[in-house]
Amino acid sequence: MHDSAAGDCARQWLKHCEKPRLSRVKVIVRVRAMMTTGQTRSLKQFKVDELPVRIFRNGEDLAAEAAEVTHAYLTSVIAKQGQARVILATGRSQVDFLKRLVAMPGLDWKKVTCFHMDEYLGISADHPGSFRRYLRERVESLVQPKEFHWIQGDTWLPLDECDRYEKLLQEAPIDLCCLGIGENGHLAFNDPPVARFNDKRLVKLLKLDDVCKNQQFKEGHFPSIEAVPPYAFSLTVPALCIAKAMLCVAPEKRKAEPVRWTLEGPIAESCPASFLRKQPHCLLFLDEGSASNLSSATVGK
């Protein structure tokens, strides 16, 4: 990355920053092209309802592009307003993206405040399945951001913890939400039985469904499905979508069916991720595996 290219990117963002949120996604999409003389790595680019979608050859290309777009976006936000606030996701699908993002030079993490979107109720921060541990090891310990606000999963007052974290989220606008799609189509821990598109709360204590618990077990977070906690804290669907920009990273063949439900099914709480189709400020990044069940009518020939 050349300094002049990064500067051009920041100036382009500043030019659009006062426009409605709809135009901001166009800036994010252009970031890669503005920073290099080459073309984007994506094989396909299309839109489903209001949601821009990109398909990459593999998870490596997807992660590299996602990291570069995120790096440039946050750099532009910091150039504009002096700081940035970002929500980060966890899980196996986010590992390569986060690894590349924290390894990229030039982002002033001392001006970045981080949040995470969920945590299990009743486990400590050093538990192998804790999302606090996941993000401390993969982000905080490596880049030392300005602040990292943690959901205290081992609190004895879970409803008070929801209120506390809501207040932190409301202190200033969220600039970016980085998220994924679960095997049951969930966003964060908003599983189909409990997801609400019009939720009035930003943070809730939610019951996990069996598909979600099985995914947590298969990803190696717990020794058995029975060991997965039945409840977890989660940012609600509206809380995720209030960010000025969203980047959804959903690689791997195991996500092919939930991706198909997301893009080709009805926009309904039975597939929480389908709500992304109403978010023009979101980008959805897929690889050939996760996009493999999409119809030609969706992706184009």
What tens digit of pLDDT does each residue of 114-167 get? 999 999 999 999 999 999 999 999 999 999 999 999 999 999 999 999 999 999
Tell me which amino acid residue 62 is.
Answer: L
Measuring CA to CA, which residue among 286, 294, 295 is closest to residue 248?
286
Express each pLDDT in 173-220 by its tens digit.
Answer: 999 999 999 999 999 999 999 999 999 999 999 999 888 998 889 888
Average the pLDDT over 253-282 and give the result.
98
Structure tokens at 300: 């184009």
Express each pLDDT in 229-266 by its tens digit.
Answer: 999 999 999 999 999 999 999 999 999 999 999 999 99
Q: Record the pTM.
A: 0.88
Instruction: Give dist(CA 199, CA 301) in Å, integer.
Output: 38
Question: In this structure, are residues 56 and 65 in contact, taking their beta carbons and an 8 Å threshold?
Answer: yes
Structure tokens at 198: 């019009």
Average the pLDDT over 283-291 and give the result.
98
Question: In this structure, are residues 26 and 45 in contact, taking their beta carbons and an 8 Å threshold?
Answer: no
Lowest mean pLDDT among 38-47, 101-110, 153-162: 38-47
Residue whose structure tokens are 């977070």 = 221
Residue whose structure tokens are 């002033």 = 108
Q: What is the pLDDT of residue 34?
A: 38
Q: What is the pLDDT of residue 250?
A: 98
Residues near 136 by beta carbon (within 8 Å), at least 6 away in sequence: 125, 148
Question: In this structure, are residues 145 and 110 in contact, taking their beta carbons and an 8 Å threshold?
Answer: yes
Question: In this structure, are residues 263 and 86 in contact, taking their beta carbons and an 8 Å threshold?
Answer: no
Instruction: Give dist(CA 283, CA 42) in Å, integer.
Output: 13
Torsion angles phi and psi, residue 203, rounded to 5: -135, 135
Q: Answer with the residue of higher pLDDT: 222 or 37.
A: 222
Q: What is the pLDDT of residue 211?
A: 87
Domains of the chain in start order, with CATH, are 3-299 (3.40.50.1360)
Helix 95-103, helix 59-81: angle, nearest 10: 50
Q: What is the pLDDT of residue 41?
A: 83
Instruction: Give dist(CA 162, CA 204) in Å, integer.
Output: 6
- Percentage of the chain beyond pLDDT 90 is 80
Question: In this structure, are residues 252 and 28 in contact, taking their beta carbons and an 8 Å threshold?
Answer: no
Tell me which amino acid residue 101 is.
Answer: L
Q: Answer with the residue of higher pLDDT: 44 or 13.
A: 44
Instruction: Give dist(CA 67, CA 72) in Å, integer.
Output: 9
Structure tokens at 233: 């804290």
Q: What is the pLDDT of residue 174?
A: 98
Question: In this structure, are residues 188 and 153 in contact, taking their beta carbons and an 8 Å threshold?
Answer: no
Q: What is the pLDDT of residue 297?
A: 95
Sheet holding 231-235, edge to edge: 118-120, 231-235, 203-207
What is the b/e burial string over 25-53, where b = at least 16 CB atoms within 10 angstroms of the residue's CB?
Answer: bebbbbbbebbeeeebbbeeeeebeebbb
Q: What is the pLDDT of residue 52?
A: 96
Instruction: Give dist(CA 288, CA 299) in Å, integer.
Output: 11
Instruction: Give dist(CA 293, CA 261) in Å, integer.
Output: 10
Q: What is the pLDDT of residue 28?
A: 52
Average the pLDDT over 275-288 and give the result.
98
Q: What is the pLDDT of residue 232?
A: 96
Instruction: Give dist(CA 125, CA 133) in Å, integer.
Output: 6
Torsion angles phi and psi, residue 202, rounded to 5: -95, -30
Mean pLDDT of the chain: 89
Predicted confidence (pLDDT) at residue 69 exceeds the cutoff of 90: yes
